[in-house]
């Protein structure tokens, strides 16, 4: 066997170079080089989002219909379908790039926590203690001396001790001249156990270190990894950081990630990718506040079931196959460093318990953070993304379901869709007389594509303006060049080429509208089906609607009701909690009471499977209309659309 | 910097060769090559037991008075004092060699266990369970399904789960077609905790594996590592194995081992050495019974405080320095594989709790195994070795102390002393008319040296025969050439050169007798001091004397009382339990009741420090006589010696 030929691949505009074996997949080479290429299908060749332009050199490529003849002749290739044959220079165009700067946009309307009745009492605690030095009359072991002291001074007893504490103990006691600070951790109760475990002694340090007492809260999302640095002395978030989940280069949604895990070494690669993201976020958090890594004592995280399993190295294969079983609903505490997270040895991970394969720890975390289980009022909790997760209930009971919305809300399957980063069109108005648009983008940059919430705003506005009909088709008879025939039926030109970052027109197509209708239809049908499954007559009975999730935070309520995504309720009933997953992780870091609730809440939540429900299918089909086939479901919208139509008829007539 | 010059060292008669850097210490080279050289002082040059003969090549050596001019001219060098300068051929003479074949000599008088009232209920348990496969109506997680099944079928609840079980679970359930065997472990209660922890789920295997259910019990001694393979289904020992503790090449006693730990990398080397020994024993045990390593589920071990700390990688430095504090009295369970023990990932180590720096888990294990804490009768428990550990008490209270006997009982400091292996003189008789000896050796081999118990037998016989006086001096006036002047005062020739393995005379010197008197004096003074410290008038009040330890098992009671090592009590009060440390480890592997007792017993034991006791010093000085300065302490021996003296006087007269 001869040694594999080495080939240099140079990526522009990042100007990074990597040496790989001849025959290496170009997408994998980019990932290895740290070049962030979007690949929403996970490298199967079906999405066309990982297109790059060859400037020099040769690849062997499998052509799909995602690359036109013209593009192909210009050197455009799908990275995932290409194997490098010679030294290469590759240009990664803006639309294929994942930008580092994801914007964490805080809105004032995002409230801190809706949970009540909890005390500030973090599960992680530091105690300073001064011990009498040993003498010949009192020469018990270092450990017994410490435990005796803690019992006497702080009435701490029955503590279990981490072996790593025993390892450090003799030195810490003597370095600190018999004055040390110990850290204890209360872990969540086992499901069904009576009361919580006693605190566990997890760390010992010489001297008084109580002033440096921090922990981390994390939301491990399919798209992004969000972390917060918490000061446990002051009960405050002192830094925020967010990164793309590096897994995104292996596929945009959980299904493509699960599929990737089935390749040899796939699970390990995805696990490493999310660990890299977590480590990057930790790095940023520590740098922002000049906190030392040794002063971080705990890590609370919440993520959907697939993200949590991959993070822990648990094959998610059965999440994807009927009957959709996760490996575990709750996770024993795991030493973070054993997974490869760059924190001190004593740091454990508490991961929020999952309810089912598609209702994960991110949802139970949100439910805890939002305090739904504490109030008698009937609440609808919604987290909308690639999947929609729905929780209904109150302090007596909780029901949950999830439905696949598809990638439309994250820009997937939408001709010019993109994740909600700089340059994504989000705001949209239309002049009802000229049908000329006015768009605003995230960060105010030149338009590059359409975000999920932008899509909703655009379609709602076009619907209200009569540019599209309630069945999602353009009105081709309007006197505007903005509406024109395209490759995917009629399309509406949002921005013309000279105004855009990509140098191409940005359009909304009928296929895009169709995809949006399917996405919103699935969410609404899920809410409807779960509502009636638990014996509630209609969505009108909810006292409160809590919207969680990064996507949800940027939803326009009116536009969302207009297209039939959210139920037609008075606007004041809607509350945004932002990243519910992170909220719960943060709140339980501050309060042992809420931590105790976490598993209980996950166990309270009864899961309903919608995928084999006939009711769901019927509701779904009925929802493939704007806002809905049954006008009675959306009384105020129906009335408003009808009013607008009459107005147009009057003006036109 | 130039690369270190490589040098070949060839060891005979093993005929193994190793390549080392020029300047490498010859003893360390031997250890690295797997050549077992005795080095009782731990390589400090003071004992002279690591002598080797250079056959070829050159070393740089630091001469000490342990090598005579004649030896030096013959090429004899202390391995520990030599650095290799050129390719070498080195002969390791028989007296410097540690033989692999340590004899595990079982005596009929060694009873199984004196503990009573316990049920056969191992802390490690296997449960077989058949679970309903998941369906769309019942698609809870694999873990919840398993826990639900275990609760329903076996009423097991509140179980905590090892993360490794979560890792294996999905595959095990499906490979076993939803029929699996789980292993649970009950860990010992925390000191002071009310009742035991609930069982922990530590393993899951596809199918029904209940038939293969084993664990290991270990005694980690300073000299030897003894292991037993236990069949937990039948409650039986199915294999025994014993190896030298490989640390022996770094020093014979705990003090020299602790000193070695203070060298850079010393602790790691010693830890690795004992782990190697443990792994070798495990290997032998498994081979003997063709048991698979995966079917071992737990490891119980007992060892003295220093051995336990080194095994766990805990620096024993403070054990040696006043006020003699160990790092811990009890040890949290440790994953055996994390230390480097070749067992499955789910195997945990339970190490017996220690009482103090010099009363370790080997003693608490012996006390549990012997059931002393269960009976109202006053018992004296003795474990004699380099250190003597003494326990006095009953079901109400337990007092303990330790005293340093020095290495005499293990052959150290005795001119021809050796550990109790093949060729060691153990049996000794003397013809009272000719003073001619008759010796028997372990294994019936040609004599090579004198074992510790042999030493006692020889001195007792010489005392009774009048060849030595009660102050330990030879009678030079006896008409025998066996008694002659030597370099260490007078000496008695036990075997002449032609009869021995070494080709040299084997003698007993007055210095040897002195060393033995000091050793036995320390033990006896320790017993006396502890006895009066707890308000008991004299050693005559003991209802029972339990002798534990490998050395103790081979003691001749009469000879031991004759020299004043053991108290002068009726012979039927003495019970031998052999390796008490191993006994306790085995019994607690079979019985959760006894495991629950282990920590309680260790906490019951009140430690008395003898090292700064004036009483102990007085008692010690009084004990430096054969059998004792105070004749009243040994009434029957005093009477017998006097009878024999009169008899000799009559015969001589």
CATH architecture of B367-407+517-639: 2-Layer Sandwich (3.30)
Mean per-residue pLDDT, A640-653? 87
CB contact under 8 A, A160 and B190: yes
Nearest to B324 among A139, A190, A334 (CB): A139
Q: Taking CB atoms and an 8 Å cutoff, what residues of chain B touch A612?
A: 136
Expressed in angstroms, the distance from the first to the final Cα of chain A is 81
pTM to 2 decimal places: 0.85
Is the minimum CB–CB distance between B162 and chain A shorter than 8 Å?
A: yes
B158 to chain A, closest Cα gap in Å: 5
* pLDDT one-digit tens code per residue, A511-557: 999 999 999 999 999 999 999 999 999 888 999 999 998 788 889 99
Residue range A149-155: mean pLDDT, rounded = 95
The pLDDT tens digits of the residues spanning B478-513 come to: 999 999 999 989 999 999 999 999 899 999 999 999
Q: In chain B, what are the domain boundaries?
A: 6-96, 124-206, 214-351, 367-407+517-639, 408-510
* Whether residue A230 has pLDDT greater than 80: yes
Q: Which of A147, A169, A611 sits opposite B327 (nearest CB)?
A: A169
Interface of A with B in 180-209 (CB under 8 A): 190-194
Q: Which residues of B touch A142 (CB under 8 A)?
A: 318, 325-328
Q: At what angle do helices A635-652 and A452-464 cross, to 10 degrees?
A: 50
**Rounded Cα distance, B108 and B577, in Å:** 10
**Per-residue pLDDT, B42:** 66
Q: Residue A190's pLDDT is what? A: 55
Judged against a pLDDT cut of 60, whether residue A102 lies above it is answered with no
The order of strands in the sheet holding A544-548 is A574-578, A544-548, A379-384, A387-393, A398-404, A605-608
Alpha-carbon distance of B138 to B161, in angstroms, equals: 22
Cα three-residue angle A351-A357-A362, rounded to 5 degrees: 40
Average pLDDT across chain B, whole number: 90
Q: Does residue A50 have a pLDDT over 90?
A: no
Q: What is the CATH number of domain B6-96?
A: 3.10.20.30
Residue A639, C-beta contacts closer than 8 angstroms, at least 6 positions apart: none
- Say yes or no: A74 contacts chain B, CB-CB below 8 A: no
Q: What are phi and psi of A476, to 5 degrees?
A: -75, -10
pLDDT on residue B112: 58
To the nearest whole angstrom, how far is the Cα of B626 from the nearest Cα of chain A?
32
Cβ–Cβ < 8 Å for B406, B522:
yes
CA distance A355 to A364: 7
Those residues with Cβ within 8 angstroms of residue B150's Cβ, 6 or more apart along the chain or in another chain: B127, B129, B156, B159, B182, B201
Confidence of residue B102 (pLDDT cuts 50, 70, 90): very low
Range A140-148 average pLDDT: 96
Residue B107: predicted pLDDT? 37
**For A28-42, A307-321, A469-483, B607-621, which range has the lowest pLDDT when averaged over its residues?**
A28-42
Chain B residues whose beta carbon lies within 8 Å of the beta carbon of residue A161: 332
User: B141 and chain A: CB distance < 8 Å anywhere?
Assistant: yes
For A371-407+517-639, the fitting CATH number among 3.30.230, 1.10.287, 3.30.390, 3.30.420 is 3.30.420
3-state secondary structure of A121: strand
Q: Do B332 and A160 touch (CB under 8 A)?
A: yes
Note whether A194 contacts B158, CB cutoff 8 Å.
yes
DSSP H/E element including A282: helix A266-289
Assess whether pLDDT exceeds 80 at residue A108. no
Architecture of the domain whose range is A214-351:
2-Layer Sandwich (3.30)
| Topology match between the domains B6-96 and B214-351 | no
CA pair distance A249, A243, nearest whole angstrom: 13
What residues have CB less than 8 Å from B121, skipping those under 6 apart?
B590, B591, B592, B593
Instruction: State the Cα angle at B147 between B141 and B150, rounded to 5°.
Output: 140
Residue A573 burial class via C-beta count within 10 angstroms: exposed 0-12, middle 13-18, buried 19 and up: middle
Q: Cα(first)–Cα(last) distance of chain B, in Å?
A: 82
Q: Does residue B411 surpass a pLDDT of 50? A: yes
Tell me which H or E stretch contains A270. Answer: helix A266-289
Cβ-Cβ contacts under 8 Å, A141 against chain B: 325-329, 354, 356
Q: What was the ipTM of the complex prediction? A: 0.85
- Burial zone of B635 (CB within 10 Å; 0-12 exposed, 13-18 middle, 19+ buried): exposed
What are residue A605's DSSP bridge partners? A398
- Predicted local distance difference test score (pLDDT) of residue B385: 79
Starting at the edge strand found earlier in the chain, the sheet holding A506-509 runs A483-486, A489-495, A506-509
Residue B202 confidence class, pLDDT cut points 50, 70, 90: very high
Q: Are A356 and A342 in contact (CB under 8 A)?
A: no
Residue B140 in contact with partner chain A when CB distance is under 8 A? yes
pLDDT single digits (tens) B208-226: 999 999 999 999 998 889 9
User: Would the pLDDT of B30 be above 90?
Assistant: no
Q: Shortest CB distance from A167 goes to which of B159, B313, B357? A: B313
Which of B27-31, B63-67, B470-474: highest mean pLDDT? B470-474
Backbone angles phi, psi at A301, to 5 degrees: -140, 155
Distance from CA of A494 to the nearest CA of B (A): 44
- Say how far apart CA A417 and CA A407 lie, in whole Å: 10
- Please check whether residue A183 is in contact with residue A125, taking contact to mean a CB–CB distance below 8 angstroms: yes
In chain A, pLDDT over 90 holds for what percent of residues? 71
Which band of pLDDT confidence, cut at 50, 70 and 90, is reported for residue B188? low
CB within 8 Å of A1: residues ≥ 6 apart: none
In CATH terms, A124-206 corresponds, of 3.10.20.880, 2.30.30.40, 3.90.1150.10, 3.30.9.10, to 3.10.20.880
* Spatial contact of A447 and A499, defined as CB atoms under 8 Å apart: yes
What DSSP element (H or E) covers A507?
strand A506-509
Residue in A143, A329, A612 nearest the CB of B327: A143
Residues of A in contact with B193 (CB under 8 A): 157-158
- Window 343-402 of A: residues touching B by CB (8 A cutoff) are 354, 356-357
B596-643 pLDDT tens trace: 899 899 999 999 999 889 999 999 999 999 999 999 999 999 999 999
Residues contacting residue B306 through CB under 8 Å, at least 6 positions apart: B222, B254, B257, B258, B316, B319, B357, B360
d(CA A359, CA A603): 12
Side-chain-side CA neighbours of residue A610 (13 Å): 31
Round to whole Å and give the CA distance between B47 and B43: 8
The answer to whether A327 contacts chain B (CB < 8 Å) is yes
Mean predicted confidence (pLDDT) in B94-100: 65
Would you state the pLDDT for residue A110?
A: 39
């Amino acid at each position: 066997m001869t040694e594999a030929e080495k080939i240099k691949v140079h990526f522009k505009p990042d100007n990074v170079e990597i040496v790989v074996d001849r025959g290496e997949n170009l997408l994998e080479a980019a990932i290895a080089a740290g070049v962030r290429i979007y690949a929403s299908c996970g490298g199967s060749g079906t999405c066309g989002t990982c297109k790059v332009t060859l400037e020099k050199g040769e690849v062997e490529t499998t052509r799909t219909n995602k690359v036109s003849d013209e593009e192909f002749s210009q050197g455009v290739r799908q990275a995932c379908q290409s194997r490098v044959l010679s030294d290469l220079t590759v240009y990664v165009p803006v639309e294929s790039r994942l930008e580092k700067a994801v914007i964490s946009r805080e809105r004032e309307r995002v409230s801190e926590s809706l949970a009540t009745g909890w005390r500030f009492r973090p599960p992680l605690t530091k105690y300073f203690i001064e011990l009498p030095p040993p003498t010949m009359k009192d020469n018990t072991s270092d450990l017994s001396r410490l435990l005796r002291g803690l019992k006497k001074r702080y009435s701490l007893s029955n503590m279990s001790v981490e072996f790593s504490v025993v390892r450090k103990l003799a030195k810490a006691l003597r370095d600190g001249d018999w004055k040390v600070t110990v850290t204890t951790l209360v872990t969540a109760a086992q499901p069904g156990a009576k009361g919580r475990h006693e605190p566990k002694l997890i760390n010992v340090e010489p001297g008084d270190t109580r002033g440096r007492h921090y922990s981390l809260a994390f939301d491990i999302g399919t798209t992004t990894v969000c972390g917060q640095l918490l000061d446990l002395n002051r009960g405050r978030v002192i830094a925020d950081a967010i990164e793309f989940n590096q897994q995104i280069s292996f596929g945009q949604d959980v299904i493509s990630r699960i599929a990737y895990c089935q390749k040899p070494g796939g699970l390990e690669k995805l696990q490493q990718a999310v660990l890299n993201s977590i480590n990057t976020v930790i790095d940023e958090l520590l740098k922002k506040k000049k906190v030392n890594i040794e002063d971080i004592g705990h890590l609370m995280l919440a993520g959907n079931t697939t993200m949590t399993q991959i993070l822990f190295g648990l094959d998610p294969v059965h999440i994807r196959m009927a009957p959709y079983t996760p490996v575990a609903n709750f996770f024993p505490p795991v030493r973070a460093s054993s997974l490869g997270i760059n924190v001190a040895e004593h740091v454990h991970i508490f991961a929020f318990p999952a309810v089912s394969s598609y209702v994960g720890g991110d949802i139970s975390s949100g439910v805890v953070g939002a305090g739904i289980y504490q109030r008698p009022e009937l609440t609808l909790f919604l987290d909308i993304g690639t999947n929609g997760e729905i929780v209904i209930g109150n302090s007596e009971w909780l029901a949950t379901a999830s439905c696949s919305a598809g990638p439309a809300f994250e820009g997937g399957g939408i001709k010019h869709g993109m994740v909600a980063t700089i340059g994504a069109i989000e705001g949209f108005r239309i002049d009802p007389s000229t049908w000329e648009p006015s768009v605003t983008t995230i960060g105010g940059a030149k338009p590059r594509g359409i975000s999920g919430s932008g899509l909703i705003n655009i379609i709602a506005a076009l619907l209200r303006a009569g540019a599209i009909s309630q069945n999602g088709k353009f009105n081709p008879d309007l006197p505007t060049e903005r509406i024109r025939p395209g490759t995917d039926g009629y399309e509406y030109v949002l921005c013309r080429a000279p105004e855009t970052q990509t140098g191409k027109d940005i359009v909304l197509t009928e296929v895009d509208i169709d995809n949006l209708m399917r996405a919103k239809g699935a969410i609404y049908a899920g809410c409807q089906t779960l509502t009636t499954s638990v014996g509630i007559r209609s969505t009108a009975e909810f006292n409160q609607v809590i919207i969680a999730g990064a996507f949800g935070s940027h939803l326009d309520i009116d536009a969302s009701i207009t297209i039939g995504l959210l139920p037609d309720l008075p606007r004041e009933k809607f509350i945004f909690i932002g990243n519910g997953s992170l909220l719960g992780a943060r709140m339980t870091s501050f309060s042992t009471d809420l931590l105790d609730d976490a598993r209980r809440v996950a166990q309270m939540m009864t899961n309903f499977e919608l995928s084999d429900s006939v009711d769901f299918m019927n509701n779904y089909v009925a929802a493939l209309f704007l806002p809905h086939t049954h006008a009675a479901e959306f009384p105020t919208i129906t009335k408003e659309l009808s009013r607008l139509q009459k107005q147009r008829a009057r003006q036109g007539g």
